[in-house]
Structure 1
Amino acid sequence: MANPFSKGWKYLTASLDSKIDENADPKVQIQQATEAAKKQHQQITQHAAAIIGNKKQLEMKLDRLLASQKELQEQTRQALNAADQAAAQGDNTKSSQFNNTAEVFATQLVAVEQQIEGAKQQHTQAAAAAEQAEQQQKQSEIRLKEQLSQIDALRAQADQAAMQETATEAMDSMNALKPDTSVPTLDGVREKIERRYADALGAQELTQSTVGDRMAEIQAAGTDMKASARLAEIRAQMGGGNQLTAGEAPGPSEEASPEVPAEEKPDQGAPGQDKPGQDKPGAANGQQ
């Protein structure tokens, strides 16, 4: 069973790391990523340099051993030649000494040749490792350049995001500002002016309507007076046309019609009529 304390500690650590990542400055994280990439490339470069340096060291050792081999071979030859010359001269002691010296040189030569073989094997391995390290260093350099270019793009995006956040905060601050209620707003002043202008237009319209009504009444009164006068004139003309002149015989329609008593005849409002109760219109015409 897992330890609750250890489990809780891991949870708190993970939660703290998450909070730190959320609240961390992107530019700081970009700088950390840049330093990490450069450090990794530096480590790879140093490792490759060490491997290549080992190869170079083996090459120098091999060159030194080859030089020793050549020198020992020459010394061995010289010792053998000296031994041969001493033997030819009958000096066996010197010949023996030179032979012993040649054997020493030969022993040293064998040891040097063994070292040369081991150095060659080591150099072959070191050369392969150096080639691989050099390739890794080149790949690391290319990868570092790509990361640096991406880091530059991330820096630009971070700057743009910071500018956008600043603009958003400024807009929020502006929106949070409340207008001063003690100072009239332009909309309120405009509404007041428009209301006063509309009231003035309405009053002017009412004034014009009242004057027009008075003028219309005056014109109507004049028209009524003219119409009344004209109506009286037409009635007078009609009354004069219907009256019979003295000695004129009545028409067939008048003979056929029954005689209406004077009391039942309607009043004729024609001008020149003296008595409303006359029986015959002809008598009235004769009196005029």
Structure 2
Amino acid sequence: MFKVIRRAWRYLVFAVSGRLDELTDPRVQIEQAIQEAKEQHQRLTQQAAAVIGNERELGMRLARSLEETEKLQANARQAVLLAERERAAGDERKALSYEDSARAFASRLVAAETALRDAQLMHGRAGQASAQARAAVENNAMALQKKIAERMRLLSQLDQAKMQEQLNRAMGDLSGLAPAGDTPTMDQVREKIEKRYARALGEAELTSNSVEARMIEVERAALDVEGAARLEAIKESLGLDRKPEVEGRPGAEG
């Protein structure tokens, strides 16, 4: 049961994500991608600045350690020289005092030299990290510039796609392939008119060949014959010359 619920949940998430991708404006997605790239570059720049700052701080510490080492070395040398001078002057007690000072300077010098070596090692590693950070920032800056250029190309391509879609819709409306709303196409209207015209012709053909139509034609012919006879009678009563009937006149017989 748990597997079924988890599978259904994954399907729902995938379906909603796909629907959101369809509804999201590509222009907004492009700007979001560029903004994310800019923020990533800013974070990388801040991290690189921290690494470079650490290198500078270690460099200052190294300089102080080197200065302290040189100072202790000079003091130890000076204490040894003073001890030798006092011993040559016959003042052994003072000479021993200078020797004690020289030993103290020497001990501090050893500790300072150890700290100096550690500082040099840390500064060297920091220098390598700083160089890598600089290279990472430069590479990311180049990648960001490429993305910005790609954004311009994609936006231009998006505008061209929209214009082509509008042109396709316009051409579809003209050709009757894509009517707007419930408006019928020219092909549909032509088919409807041709269907009505063909049905009307069929009805006319059936009407003209029916018995009623033939009866009407016979009655009309009889009326024409009777009218012609009446016209001849009127002419005869008026003493006008009677004209011979035309042979083959429709309705003359019967």
TM-score by length of 1: 0.55
Offset from partner CA, 1:68-121 (integer Å, 9 cap, x none): 111111111121122222222222222222111111111111111001111111
Q: Which residue of 1 aligns with 2:145?
A: 145
- Judge which range, 163-172 or 76-85, deviates more: 163-172
Provide the rounded CA distance (Å) in 2 between the counterparts of 1:116 and 1:40.
37
Provide the rounded CA distance (Å) in 2 between the counterparts of 1:172 and 1:39.
44
Give how far 1:8 is off: 2.1
Number of equivalenced pairs: 179
- Listed as ranges, the gaps of 5+ residues in structure 2 are 185-254
Q: Which residue of 2 aligns with 1:5?
A: 5
1:118 is the counterpart of 2:148 = no
Give how far 1:53 is off: 2.1
% identity of equivalent residues:
37
Provide the rounded CA distance (Å) in 2 between the counterparts of 1:6 and 1:85.
91
Task: Describe how 1:1-288 pairs up with structure 2 within 5 A.
Answer: 3-165=3-165, 176=180
- Listed as ranges, the gaps of 5+ residues in structure 1 are 180-288
Offset from partner CA, 1:140-163 (integer Å, 9 cap, x none): 111111111001111122233344
Provide the rounded CA distance (Å) in 2 between the counterparts of 1:102 and 1:173.
103
**What secondary structure, in the 3-state scheme, does the structure 1 residue paired with 2:13 have?**
helix
Provide the rounded CA distance (Å) in 1 between the counterparts of 2:180 and 2:59.
77
**What secondary structure, in the 3-state scheme, does the structure 1 residue paired with 2:127 have?**
helix
Provide the rounded CA distance (Å) in 2 between the counterparts of 1:143 and 1:94.
71
Provide the rounded CA distance (Å) in 1 between the counterparts of 2:92 and 2:2.
90
CA RMSD of aligned residues (A): 2.6
Q: Which amino acid aligns with 2:32?
A: Q
Provide the rounded CA distance (Å) in 2 between the counterparts of 1:53 and 1:78.
37
Give how far 1:52 is off: 2.2
Provide the rounded CA distance (Å) in 2 between the counterparts of 1:133 and 1:151.
26
Q: Which residue of 1 aligns with 2:231?
A: none
Give how far 1:19 is off: 1.0
Provide the rounded CA distance (Å) in 1 between the counterparts of 2:88 and 2:14.
93
Q: Which amino acid aligns with 1:51?
A: V
**What secondary structure, in the 3-state scheme, does the structure 1 residue paired with 2:90 have?**
coil
Give how far 1:131 is off: 1.9
Q: Which residue of 2 aligns with 1:254?
A: none
Provide the rounded CA distance (Å) in 2 between the counterparts of 1:17 and 1:139.
32
Provide the rounded CA distance (Å) in 2 between the counterparts of 1:79 and 1:173.
104
TM-score by length of 2: 0.62
Offset from partner CA, 1:171-198 (integer Å, 9 cap, x none): 889954969xxxxxxxxxxxxxxxxxxx
Q: Which amino acid aligns with 1:85?
A: R
Offset from partner CA, 1:33-57 (integer Å, 9 cap, x none): 1011112222222222222222222
Give how far 1:2 is off: 5.7
Q: Which amino acid aligns with 1:32?
A: Q
